[in-house]
Amino acid sequence: MTICANVWKQIIKTNGKYIVRSIKRDEEVKRLNRLKGFGNEKYKDGLIKVLAKENKLSFHESKIIWNKAYESKYSNGLLAVRNEYDELVNMYKNLIALKQNR
């Protein structure tokens, strides 16, 4: 074997180890990302229950509104999601009131 072949063999071996480590690290990052924030569904459901009670809504109604608010404002932080939730709840209650007044 030539020196060049040995060098390439070593490079391939090193890159293979690096790729395996990189894949393992990426999998761990994905796992940790799932756990952070709202990874815990019990916490999310507890928050939705509190908001539902606070706004006199059913859990199902509150969950639909929360998911919409979270979808549109999650990148701006939890406070922005909460403000969006409050605005959507007010709009929802106004629509219900309009429907009942017909």
Interval 26-76: pLDDT, tens: 777 777 776 665 556 778 888 999 999 999 999 999 999 999 999 999 888
Residue 39 confidence (pLDDT)? 57
Three-state helix/strand/coil letters over 67-97: HHHHHHHHHHCHHHHHHHHHHHHHHHHHHHH
CB 65 within 8 A of CB 84: no
Residue 24 confidence (pLDDT)? 74
Secondary structure letter of residue 46 according to DSSP: H
1-33 pLDDT, tens digit each: 566 767 667 777 776 677 767 777 777 777 777
Q: Give residues with Cβ within 8 angstroms of 84, minimum separation 6.
A: 69, 72, 73
